[in-house]
Amino acid sequence: MIFFFVMFFHSIFCLIQALGFSTYACGWTNAIPTFKKSIPAALIMLISAVSFTIAFAGMVFSLLKVHRFYRGAGFTVDKARKEFTDGVMSDQGVRNATNQAARAAANHAVNEAVSGRY
């Protein structure tokens, strides 16, 4: 279950990088207009765009393949949730970390409420 969540968002990240919508990404939309300014820079950006496109295609392919295998083996979301609860939440280290984080958040909230805004 966690694999699907992480892989899905990582694939979305690779897609955004491959398309290059933002100013920091070297994707297709940024690489093609760069050919007018500097061919070597555009070629480097094009290599990056091709690499991210191949990575995105591989991730989507593996995500679909693992999903088919997962469903074919008879697993369900309920079974995955139970496995996560039994496996991760039964770990003493995870419970301690969760407890400490909740305690720190509660202490911070109380301190903010008592001390006032300024």
Distance CA 58, CA 40 (A): 27
Cα 61–67–73 angle (5° rounding)?
135
Q: Do 12 and 57 lie in a common domain?
A: yes
Q: Which of 17, 22, 87 is nearest to 53 (CA)?
A: 17
Q: Do 93 and 71 lie in a common domain?
A: no
In a domain, 15, yes or no: yes
The model scores a pTM over 0.75: no
Q: Do 17 and 49 lie in a common domain?
A: yes
Q: How many CA atoms lie within 13 A of 105 on its CB side?
A: 6
Q: Do 57 and 95 lie in a common domain?
A: no
Q: In this predicted model, what pLDDT tens digit does every residue of 9-55 receive, in sequence order?
A: 999 999 999 998 877 788 899 999 999 999 999 999 999 999 999 99
Q: Do 64 and 20 lie in a common domain?
A: yes
Q: Do 68 and 116 lie in a common domain?
A: no
Q: How many CA atoms lie within 13 A of 48 on its CB side?
A: 20
Q: Do 10 and 42 lie in a common domain?
A: yes
In a domain, 35, yes or no: yes
